[in-house]
Amino acid sequence: MPHINAAAALQICVLLSALPAQYFISQWYGTDSAQRIQITERLIIASWSSFTKSYLNRDAWADCLKLWLSRTSMCLNVGLLILHFRNWYYGGKTKIGDNEAETHSYFAESTHVRSPKPEYIQFSVGQVIVHKRFGYSGVIVGWDVKAKAPEEWLQHKYPPEKQDLKDTPHYRILINKANGFGKSTAYIPEEELTIIMGLEVVHHPDMKAYFSGYDGSKYIMQPWLKKIYPHD
């Protein structure tokens, strides 16, 4: 959509009037009054037609409005991307809306710093575990003091007789691919896990994103993860 200020409007008027003025001057003299009136009418009609095609055209304004909306949407998307990157790197929480915390904190994936660490959280990020019932091994990459997940998931996971488990610590697990379990991650209550000491080899494509090595008892967190779990 063309943006017209005072200077632009003046330039438009000058441009619109330049050629007609030349023609008007050359034709005005040497004609009678009837011819002058006809020439003047033609000039006025031609100038108005040119103006309406450029600035009073509905399609032109619609195209400019679409362009403005697309640029606004692109700027918003870039801003959100930068905001999410800051949340990931600094381990903080910046609100985007009223439901931001709900959207980004499910399944122990929230980036808010877990400090202080409650004494009843028995396990730590980097420890290798085995699931008591299913037997697969894996490594802890996050925890919540109680289950944080969509309500539909909680209702499916915990029937009425297991409702108490929702209020116990839950851990996010990268499942060892060597087990052939099928799933790559899990979100498990504390009572279903057993810690294994001295088992270094956990095969998972995301291991290097979370850990930099193994110290003999557990995996060493990458700096960004250590910021979120400073006491593990």
Place of tokens 């031609």: 46
Residues in contact with 84: Cβ distance below 8 Å, sequence separation at least 6, in sequence order:
none
- Residue 38 makes CB contacts below 8 A (sequence gap 6+) with none
Residue 92: the pLDDT is 39
Torsion angles phi and psi, residue 193, rounded to 5: -115, 150
Q: What is the pLDDT of residue 54?
A: 56
Ranges assigned E (strand) in the chain? 128-131, 137-144, 170-175, 185-189, 193-196, 211-214, 219-221
Across the 232 residues of the chain, what is the mean pLDDT of every consecutive 10-residue run? 54 53 50 63 65 59 61 50 47 39 76 95 97 95 97 93 94 94 93 89 95 94 98 97
**Res 79: pLDDT:** 47
